[in-house]
C-alpha cells in the first residue's frame, strides 16, 4: 500500500526515512507483475531499482532534484535513449532510440525514476488503445472495458497504482479522454508549452505532451519541470513558467463559461447530470457561471480529422523500411519493399488515416479539404479568443460517454471518432485542457469533467482543479 | 539551327550554400567525409526529431536576392514536398513552395557581339539536399546520408534564353555571382552547383510556348551547352518530321552526346506540398535586410569597373581577371608588392593562367603566392633582373614558393649594371666579330641584335640589355 497521497508527502517521507525508495520501487514492480494482464506496459525497466539506489543517495546528500524518487511511466511514443521506441507498431518493433526526448530528459535531470514505457494506440491514433501491436489495454476500473486512448496505457498505470505519474500525449483528446475513462487527472498543455522534441509525430501542429496523475498537485509539479522553451523545437514558446504548485491555491472567484454546444444531443444523461451537479455546487460557492457560445463546435471532428490525417500522412512517410524499422524480407524491387513493409506492418487505423491524409493533400483536393480546414481552424481560435474575453475557464464534459466495452466500436471508426467531440476543440485552438474525475455513474464507471483555459494559462486550470478536488469532491 | 524555329530555355539551378552546418541540424556540411559520418537523429529522420532553421541560410539567400535585384519576401514559409526515396530519410523534403524567399530578379549577360541581355530570375527558394544513393555492384543500393540537410538555394530562371550560348552565359554569370557573394563554391563537378534545363521550341513569331522537355544530370558547363544544343536540334527534327514533342524528363549521356528519356512517370508526381508545421514562418524585417545589405561584398561588375578605372587596365584584362573572384583576389594580392598594374595583369593572365589551364586547377591551388609574383615584378622594374631572367626565376618559384630575391641571389642572377663590366664584354664581342661590326658600320643597324645576343651570352644573360645596346652603339660609333 502507498503511504502517501501526493509527491510532497512522498518526498518528506523519503527524507525522514519513513519510506524507502527502493522498497517503494519494488512495490511498484510487484504491482506491475500482479497487474500484468492489464497489458498497460510495453516495457518495464529492470534498472528502476538501480535508479532508486542512486537517487536515495542523492536525497540523503541533499543533492536530489525536484522530482527525486517520483516513479514515472512514459508513453511509448516518446524517445528515451537506449530504450525501445515502438509507438506500439510492428513497423518499429525492434527500434531503439539513440536520444532522449526533451520532456523525458527534464524528468531524468530532476531525478525522476523511469519505470517503463506504456502501451498506446499505434502512433497515438485511436480512442480505445485497441489499435496496438501489443494488444489492447484493460481498464483497471472495469477490465471488460477499454481505458480510452490513445494514451490508454499511461492512464491505466496511474489508475491501477503501478507508478506515481505518467506522461501521455494528446493530439485530439488522447490524455483527457483516457483520464476520464479511468477516473484520474490528465492535462493537455497549451500547444508549444512542452517541447515536442522526441515525441514521435502524429499531427505536428496538434501534438502535446502532458501528465496523468491521481491528484492535481503532482500534475502541476510535473508540468513545472517539463514545460518551457527548447531550442530543438521551433514551435515551443519562450514564456516564463509560473510556480504551478506553489500558486495552486485559488484566491479569487473565477468566471466560468458553459458552452451549450457541449451539452447537446448525444451526451450520456448520467454524465450530464453529474456535470450539472458540479456546476450547481460552484454556483453556490460563489462562482459566476456564464452561458457562452462556441458556434463551430459541430465542425470540430471534421476539421480535426482532415488536418491531423494530412499531417500524419507526411509524418509517417519515414517508416518505409529503407533505413530503420521493419523491412519486408527479399522484396522484388524498391516499390515492393515500400508497399509490403508498410502494408504488412502498419495497423488498419494507421493505414486508414494515412490514406485519408494523402487524399486531402492531393492535387485537386487540397483547396477543398486541407486549405478549407485550415481556415475553419482559425475560426475555432477566434471562438475561444472571444470566449476567454468573457470568462476565465470553460467547463464541459470530457467525453459524451463512459468507458465502453472492448471491441464494441472497433468496426465503427466513425462512432469512435465522434467520441472525441468535446476534446478536439482544445487541440484545434491550441489551448490547455484538463480532465477532473468528478464521480462515477450507476455502474461504477468514472465520469470526467473538462476545464479549458486561454493559451499559456495552465496556472488557472491547476488552481480551479485543485479547488474542485479539495472542496467539491 | 533551322531559322523557322526559336528555342526557349529556362534553367533550374541548385546551389549548395557554404554554411558550416546543415540547414536544420548542427551536423557538418563538409564534402568528402566518410559515408554516414556527418549525421545525427535529425538528419537521419529518426522518430520524434524536429528541424531547427540555420539562420545563415536565410542570410545567404537574402544576399543572393539583393545581388540579383529580387524582391525579398517579408513572410517565409517552409513546405513539405512529399515523395518516397531511400536517400530521403523523412519521406519528404523541406522546401519552400508558395512563398519563396526571393523572386522577380534578373541578371545581365554579355553576348559575343557585345550586346547586353537581361535574363529574368523567377524565384529562388531555400531547401534541404537529399542524400546520395550509390547503386553498387549487384542489386544492392547503398545510401549515404552525409548530404542530407545540406542547404540548397534553388534558383529558377524565366524562360528567357534563346540559345545554348545564352544558357551557358547565364550559368557562368550565376556562378560568378554566388562565388563573389561567398555563398556557394560553384563547383559543378563536385555537385555544389547543379543544373536542370527546360527546353522547348516554337515557330518564330509564335507567342505560345511549345511543350518542354527537362534535361537532368548535367554536371558541367559544357554538358549544359551541348545537351541544350542537341535537344533543340532533336525537337526541330521531330517537329519537321511531323512528330510532336512530349513533356518528359531526359537524361544527358555525356559519352554519346545525346539526351535520352527517363521513361519514368516523373511528371505525374503529386508532391502534396503543404506548410511544414514543425517550422514557424520566418519574417524578414527591413532592418535585417539592411543589416545584410551592409555585408554585401563587391560584385563582379563593380570590380570590373574598378579595375578599368583605378588600374587603367584594358577592358579585356579587367574582364579576364574578374571572371572569378579568386583570380581577381589573386591579382589584387600581387598589387600589394607592385604598382605596375599592367605587368601584374600580364603575369596573371599569362604565365600564371597558362599553368592553371594546363593543370586544370583553380588559382587558389596555384603554388606561387601572389605576393611573390608581385616581388618578381618589382625586381624587374628596379633593374635587379631582366624580364628574360625573370622567366628563369619563375620555374624556380614553381618548385618552391620563395621570395624571388632569394632565388636571384642564390642562383647569382643579379643583373649586371656595372658599366665597366659591360664595357669589357662589349670590347670582347666587338673584337671577336669584325664582320658584323663592319656591317653595322655600313649602315645595316639590324645586326646589333646579334651583337647584343653575343654580349648577353658572354655575361650569362645577366647584363641589362638596354645598357648593352647603348654601350655597343657607343663603341662602334667611336670606330666610325
Q: What is the pLDDT of residues B403-452, one digit of tens each?
A: 999 998 888 777 777 778 888 888 888 888 888 888 888 888 888 889 88
Nearest Cα to A419, choosing from A402, A406, A395? A402
Nearest Cα to B386, choosing from B296, B303, B455? B455
CA of A435 to nearest chain B CA: how many angstroms apart? Answer: 26
CA of A397 to nearest chain B CA: how many angstroms apart? Answer: 30
Q: Is residue B414 part of a domain?
A: no
Residue with cell 545537351: B227
CB contact under 8 A, B82 and A95: no
- Do B194 and B339 sit in the same domain of this protein? no
Of A101, A200, A234, nearest to B52 by CB-CB distance is: A234
Rounded CA-CA distance A291/A294 in Å is 10
Residue with cell 660609333: B477
Confidence at residue B354, expressed as pLDDT on a 0 to 100 scale = 95
CA of A200 to nearest chain B CA: how many angstroms apart? Answer: 4
User: CB pairs below 8 Å between A and B: how many?
Assistant: 100
Q: How many residues does chain A have?
A: 473
Is residue A443 part of the annotated active site? The answer reads no
CB contact under 8 A, B41 and A98: yes
Look at residue B368 and tell me whether its pLDDT is greater than 90.
yes
ipTM over 0.85: yes
Confidence at residue B105, expressed as pLDDT on a 0 to 100 scale = 98
Domain count across chain A? 1
Q: Is residue B258 part of a domain?
A: yes
Rounded CA-CA distance B383/B415 in Å is 7
CB contact under 8 A, A97 and B278: no
Interface probe, candidates B55, B79, B90, B272, chain A, greatest A C-beta count within 10 A: B272
> Partners of A335 in the beta sheet?
none
Q: Is residue A41 part of a domain?
A: yes
Confidence at residue B268, expressed as pLDDT on a 0 to 100 scale = 63
CB contact under 8 A, B143 and A358: no
Rounded CA-CA distance B197/B9 in Å is 7
Confidence at residue B418, expressed as pLDDT on a 0 to 100 scale = 74
Of A200, A204, A310, nearest to B278 by CB-CB distance is: A204
Q: How confident is the model at residue B123 (pLDDT cuts 50, 70, 90)?
A: very high
- Do B260 and B352 sit in the same domain of this protein? no
Rounded CA-CA distance A283/A291 in Å is 13
Question: What are the residues of chain B with a beta carbon less than 8 Å away from any beta carbon of chain A?
Answer: 41, 44-53, 80, 82, 84, 86, 89-92, 141, 143, 145, 270, 272, 274, 277-280
Q: What is the pLDDT of residues B86-102, one digit of tens each?
A: 999 999 999 999 989 99
Q: Minimal Cα distance from B45: which residue of A?
A: A318
Q: Is residue A91 part of a domain?
A: yes
Confidence at residue B1, expressed as pLDDT on a 0 to 100 scale = 61
3-state secondary structure of B126: strand
Range of the domain at A77: 7-226
- Do B335 and B441 sit in the same domain of this protein? no
Q: Is residue B313 part of a domain?
A: yes
Q: Is residue A240 part of a domain?
A: no
Domain end marker among B291, B308, B335: B291
Of A204, A318, A361, nearest to B91 by CB-CB distance is: A318
Helix (H) or strand (E) holding B409, with range, is helix B404-410
CB contact under 8 A, A197 and B92: no
Q: Minimal Cα distance from A196: which residue of B?
A: B48
Rounded CA-CA distance A316/A401 in Å is 31
Is residue A372 part of the annotated active site? The answer reads no
Selecting among A56, A97, A127, A150, the annotated active-site residue is A150
B50: Cβ contacts below 8 Å, ≥ 6 apart: A196, A197, A232, A233, A234, A235, B42, B278
CB contact under 8 A, A235 and B280: yes
3-state secondary structure of B358: helix
- Do B205 and B121 sit in the same domain of this protein? yes
Helix (H) or strand (E) holding B317, with range, is helix B315-322
Please state the three-class secondary structure of chain A as a single string.
CCCCCCHHHHHHHHHCCCCCHHHHHHHHHHHHHHCHHHCCEEEECCCHHHHHHHHHHHHHHCCCCCCCCCEEEEECCECCCCCECCCCCHHHCCCECCCCCHHHHHHHHCCCEEEEEECCCHHHCCCCCCCCCCCCCCECCECCECCCCCCHHHHHHHHCCCCCEEEEEECCCCCHHHHHHHCCEEEECCCCCECCCCECCCCCCCCEEEEEECCHHHHHHHHHHHECCCCCCCCCCCCCCCCCCCCCCCCCCCEEEEEHHHHCCCCCHHHHHHHHHHHHHHHHCCCEEEEECCCCHHHHHHHHHHHHHHHHHHHHHHCCCCCCCCCCCCCCCHHHHHHHHHHHHCCHHHHHHHHHHHHHHCCCCCHHHHHHHHHHHHHHHHHHHHHHHHCCEEEEECCCCCCCECCCCCCCHHHHHHCCCCCHHHHHHCCCEEEEEEEECCCCCEEEEEEECCCCCHHHHHHHHHHHHHHHC
Selecting among A128, A174, A195, A300, the annotated active-site residue is A174
Domain count across chain B? 3
Which DSSP category does B266 fall into?
G
Confidence at residue B464, expressed as pLDDT on a 0 to 100 scale = 82
Look at residue B469 and tell me whether its pLDDT is greater than 80.
yes
Tell me the pLDDT of chain B averaged across its residues. Answer: 92
Q: What is the percent of chain B with per-residue pLDDT over 70, rounded to a whole number? A: 98
CA of A7 to nearest chain B CA: how many angstroms apart? Answer: 29
- Do B137 and B228 sit in the same domain of this protein? yes
Confidence at residue B114, expressed as pLDDT on a 0 to 100 scale = 87
B286: Cβ contacts below 8 Å, ≥ 6 apart: none
Q: Which residues of B touch A98 (CB under 8 A)?
A: 41, 46
Range of the domain at B344: 300-407
CB contact under 8 A, A233 and B50: yes
B139: Cβ contacts below 8 Å, ≥ 6 apart: none
- Do B137 and B199 sit in the same domain of this protein? yes
Pairing outcome for strands A113-118 and A41-44: antiparallel
- Do B335 and B432 sit in the same domain of this protein? no
Q: Is residue B343 part of a domain?
A: yes
Q: Which residues of B touch A310 (CB under 8 A)?
A: 274
Rounded CA-CA distance A194/A210 in Å is 8
CB contact under 8 A, B270 and A362: yes
Q: Is residue B413 part of a domain?
A: no
Strand order through the sheet with B274-275: B92-95, B79-82, B274-275
Q: What is the pLDDT of residues A154-163, one digit of tens each?
A: 999 999 999 9
Rounded CA-CA distance A405/A141 in Å is 12
Look at residue B266 and tell me whether its pLDDT is greater than 60.
no
Q: What is the pLDDT of residues B308-350, one digit of tens each?
A: 999 999 999 999 999 999 999 999 999 999 999 999 999 999 9
- Do B158 and B99 sit in the same domain of this protein? yes
Q: Is residue B412 part of a domain?
A: no
Evaluate whether A136 touches A147 at the Cβ level (below 8 Å). no
Q: What is the pLDDT of residues A177-207, one digit of tens each?
A: 999 999 999 999 999 999 999 999 999 999 9
- Do B108 and B134 sit in the same domain of this protein? yes
Rounded CA-CA distance B221/B224 in Å is 5
Which DSSP category does B214 fall into?
E
- Within 13 Å, how many C-alpha atoms sit on residue B356's CB side? 17
Q: What is the CATH number of the domain that holds B475?
A: 1.10.10.410
Is residue A150 part of the annotated active site? The answer reads yes
Nearest Cα to A268, choosing from A414, A448, A391, A97? A448
3-state secondary structure of B296: coil
Of A95, A314, A363, nearest to B270 by CB-CB distance is: A363
Nearest Cα to A64, choosing from A7, A102, A120, A130? A7
Interface probe, candidates A80, A310, A315, chain B, greatest B C-beta count within 10 A: A315
CB contact under 8 A, B50 and A196: yes
Of A201, A234, A314, nearest to B53 by CB-CB distance is: A234
Domain end marker among B252, B271, B291: B291
Selecting among A10, A35, A75, A90, the annotated active-site residue is A75
Q: Is residue B316 part of a domain?
A: yes
Confidence at residue B383, expressed as pLDDT on a 0 to 100 scale = 83
Q: Is residue A184 part of a domain?
A: yes
Confidence at residue B409, expressed as pLDDT on a 0 to 100 scale = 87
CA of B314 to nearest chain A CA: how many angstroms apart? Answer: 53
Residues of chain A under the 70 pLDDT cut: none
A433: Cβ contacts below 8 Å, ≥ 6 apart: A176, A187, A188, A423, A426, A450, A451, A452, A461
Rounded CA-CA distance A155/A40 in Å is 9
CA distances from A220 to A226, A243, A435, B53 (A): 10, 8, 13, 32
Q: What is the pLDDT of residues A121-180, one digit of tens each?
A: 999 999 999 999 999 999 999 999 999 999 999 999 999 999 999 999 999 999 999 999
CA of A365 to nearest chain B CA: how many angstroms apart? Answer: 10
B106: Cβ contacts below 8 Å, ≥ 6 apart: B68, B69, B118, B119, B120, B121
Q: Is residue A109 part of a domain?
A: yes
Rounded CA-CA distance B181/B300 in Å is 10
CB contact under 8 A, B48 and A370: no
Q: What is the pLDDT of residues B268-323, one digit of tens each?
A: 689 999 999 999 999 999 999 999 999 999 999 999 999 999 999 999 999 999 99
Rounded CA-CA distance A121/A240 in Å is 33
- Do B95 and B205 sit in the same domain of this protein? yes
> Partners of B425 in the beta sheet?
none
pTM (predicted TM-score) = 0.91
Q: What is the CATH number of the domain that holds A89?
A: 3.90.1300.10
Distance of CA A413 to the CA centre of its chain: 20
Q: How confident is the model at residue B140 (pLDDT cuts 50, 70, 90)?
A: confident
Q: What count of other Cβ atoms lies within 10 Å of the Cβ of residue B4? A: 12
Q: How confident is the model at residue B267 (pLDDT cuts 50, 70, 90)?
A: low
Amino acid at each position: 500500500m502507498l503511504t502517501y497521497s501526493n509527491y510532497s508527502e512522498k518526498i518528506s517521507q523519503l527524507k525522514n526515512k519513513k519510506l524507502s525508495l527502493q522498497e517503494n520501487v519494488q512495490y511498484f514492480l510487484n504491482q506491475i507483475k500482479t497487474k500484468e494482464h492489464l497489458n498497460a506496459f510495453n516495457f518495464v525497466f529492470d534498472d528502476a531499482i538501480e535508479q532508486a539506489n542512486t537517487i536515495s543517495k542523492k536525497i540523503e546528500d541533499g543533492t536530489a532534484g525536484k522530482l527525486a524518487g517520483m516513479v514515472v511511466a512514459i508513453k511509448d511514443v516518446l524517445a528515451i535513449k537506449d530504450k525501445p521506441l515502438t509507438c506500439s507498431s510492428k513497423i518499429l518493433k525492434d527500434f531503439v532510440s539513440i536520444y532522449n526526448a526533451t520532456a523525458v530528459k527534464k524528468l531524468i535531470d530532476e531525478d525522476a525514476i523511469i519505470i517503463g514505457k506504456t502501451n498506446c494506440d499505434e502512433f497515438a491514433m485511436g480512442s480505445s488503445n485497441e489499435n496496438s501491436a501489443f494488444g489492447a489495454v484493460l481498464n483497471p476500473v472495469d477490465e471488460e472495458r477499454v481505458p480510452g486512448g490513445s494514451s490508454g496505457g499511461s492512464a491505466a498505470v496511474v489508475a491501477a497504482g503501478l507508478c506515481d505519474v505518467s506522461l501521455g500525449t494528446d493530439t485530439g483528446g488522447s490524455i483527457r479522454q483516457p483520464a476520464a475513462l479511468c477516473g484520474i487527472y490528465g492535462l493537455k498543455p497549451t500547444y508549444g508549452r512542452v517541447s515536442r522534441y522526441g515525441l514521435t509525430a502524429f499531427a505536428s501542429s496538434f501534438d502535446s505532451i502532458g501528465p496523468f496523475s491521481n491528484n492535481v498537485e503532482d500534475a502541476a509539479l510535473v508540468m513545472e519541470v517539463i514545460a518551457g522553451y527548447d531550442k530543438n523545437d521551433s514551435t515551443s514558446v519562450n514564456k516564463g513558467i509560473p510556480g504551478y504548485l506553489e500558486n495552486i491555491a485559488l484566491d479569487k472567484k473565477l468566471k466560468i463559461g458553459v458552452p451549450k454546444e457541449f451539452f447537446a444531443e448525444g451526451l450520456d444523461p448520467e454524465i450530464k447530470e453529474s456535470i450539472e451537479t458540479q456546476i450547481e455546487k460552484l454556483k453556490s460557492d460563489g462562482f459566476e457561471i456564464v452561458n457562452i457560445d462556441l458556434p463551430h463546435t459541430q465542425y470540430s471532428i471534421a476539421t480535426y480529422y482532415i488536418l491531423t490525417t494530412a499531417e500524419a500522412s507526411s509524418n509517417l512517410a519515414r517508416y518505409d523500411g529503407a533505413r530503420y524499422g521493419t523491412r519486408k524480407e527479399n522484396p522484388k524491387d524498391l516499390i515492393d519493399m515500400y508497399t509490403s513493409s508498410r502494408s504488412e506492418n502498419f495497423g488498419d487505423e494507421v493505414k486508414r488515416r494515412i490514406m485519408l491524409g494523402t487524399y486531402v493533400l492531393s492535387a485537386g483536393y487540397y483547396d477543398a479539404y486541407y486549405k478549407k480546414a485550415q481556415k475553419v481552424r482559425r475560426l475555432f481560435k477566434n471562438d475561444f479568443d472571444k470566449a476567454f474575453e468573457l470568462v476565465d475557464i470553460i467547463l464541459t464534459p470530457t467525453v459524451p460517454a463512459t468507458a465502453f466495452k472492448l471491441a464494441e466500436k472497433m468496426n465503427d471508426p466513425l462512432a469512435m471518432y465522434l467520441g472525441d467531440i468535446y476534446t478536439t476543440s482544445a487541440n484545434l485552438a491550441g489551448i490547455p485542457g484538463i480532465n477532473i474525475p468528478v464521480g462515477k455513474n450507476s455502474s461504477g464507471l468514472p465520469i470526467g469533467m473538462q476545464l479549458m483555459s486561454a493559451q499559456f494559462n495552465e496556472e488557472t486550470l491547476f488552481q480551479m482543479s485543485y479547488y474542485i478536488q479539495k472542496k467539491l469532491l | 539551327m533551322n531559322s523557322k524555329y526559336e528555342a526557349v530555355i529556362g534553367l533550374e539551378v541548385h546551389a549548395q550554400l557554404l554554411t558550416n552546418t546543415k540547414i536544420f541540424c548542427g551536423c557538418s556540411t563538409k564534402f568528402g567525409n566518410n559515408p554516414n559520418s556527418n549525421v545525427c537523429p535529425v538528419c537521419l529522420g529518426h522518430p520524434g526529431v524536429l528541424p531547427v532553421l540555420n539562420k545563415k541560410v536565410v542570410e545567404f539567400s537574402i544576399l543572393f536576392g539583393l545581388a540579383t535585384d529580387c524582391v525579398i519576401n517579408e513572410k517565409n514559409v517552409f513546405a513539405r514536398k512529399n515523395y518516397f526515396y531511400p536517400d530521403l530519410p523523412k519521406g519528404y523534403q523541406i522546401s519552400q513552395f508558395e512563398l519563396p524567399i526571393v523572386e522577380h530578379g534578373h541578371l545581365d549577360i554579355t553576348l559575343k557581339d557585345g550586346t547586353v541581355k537581361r535574363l529574368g530570375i523567377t524565384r529562388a527558394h531555400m531547401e534541404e539536399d537529399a542524400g546520395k544513393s550509390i547503386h553498387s555492384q549487384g542489386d544492392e543500393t547503398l545510401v549515404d546520408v552525409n548530404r542530407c540537410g545540406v542547404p540548397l538555394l534553388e534558383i529558377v530562371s524565366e524562360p528567357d534564353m534563346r540559345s545554348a550560348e545564352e544558357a551557358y552565359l547565364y550559368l557562368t554569370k550565376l556562378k560568378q555571382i554566388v562565388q563573389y557573394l561567398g555563398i556557394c563554391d560553384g563547383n559543378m563537378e563536385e555537385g555544389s552547383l547543379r543544373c536542370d534545363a527546360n527546353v522547348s521550341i516554337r515557330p518564330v513569331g509564335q507567342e505560345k510556348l511549345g511543350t518542354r522537355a527537362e534535361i537532368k544530370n548535367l554536371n558541367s558547363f559544357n554538358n549544359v551547352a551541348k545537351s541544350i544544343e542537341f535537344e533543340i536540334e532533336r525537337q526541330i527534327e521531330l517537329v519537321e518530321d511531323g512528330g510532336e514533342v512530349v513533356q518528359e524528363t531526359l537524361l544527358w549521356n555525356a559519352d554519346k552526346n545525346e539526351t535520352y528519356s527517363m521513361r519514368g512517370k516523373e511528371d505525374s508526381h503529386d508532391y502534396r506540398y503543404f506548410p511544414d508545421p514543425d517550422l514557424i514562418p520566418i519574417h524578414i524585417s527591413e532592418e535585417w535586410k539592411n543589416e545584410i545589405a551592409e555585408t554585401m561584398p563587391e560584385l563582379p561588375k563593380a570590380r570590373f569597373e574598378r579595375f578599368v578605372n583605378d588600374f587603367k587596365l584594358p577592358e579585356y584584362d579587367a574582364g579576364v581577371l574578374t571572371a572569378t573572384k579568386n583570380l581577381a583576389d589573386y591579382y589584387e594580392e600581387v598589387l600589394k608588392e607592385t604598382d605596375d598594374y599592367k605587368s601584374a595583369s600580364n603575369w596573371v593572365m599569362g604565365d600564371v593562367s597558362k599553368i592553371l589551364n594546363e593543370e586544370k586547377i583553380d588559382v587558389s591551388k596555384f603554388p606561387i603566392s601572389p605576393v611573390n609574383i608581385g616581388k618578381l615584378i618589382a625586381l624587374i622594374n628596379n633593374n635587379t633582373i631582366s624580364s628574360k631572367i625573370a622567366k628563369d626565376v619563375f620555374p624556380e618559384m614553381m618548385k618552391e614558393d620563395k621570395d624571388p630575391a632569394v632565388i636571384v641571389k642564390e642562383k647569382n642572377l643579379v643583373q649586371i649594371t656595372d658599366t665597366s663590366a659591360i664595357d669589357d664584354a662589349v670590347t670582347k664581342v666587338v673584337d671577336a666579330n669584325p664582320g658584323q661590326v663592319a656591317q653595322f658600320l655600313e649602315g645595316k643597324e639590324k645586326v646589333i641584335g646579334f651583337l647584343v645576343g653575343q654580349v648577353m651570352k658572354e655575361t650569362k644573360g645577366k647584363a641589362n640589355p638596354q645598357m648593352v645596346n647603348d654601350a655597343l652603339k657607343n663603341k662602334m660609333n667611336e670606330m666610325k
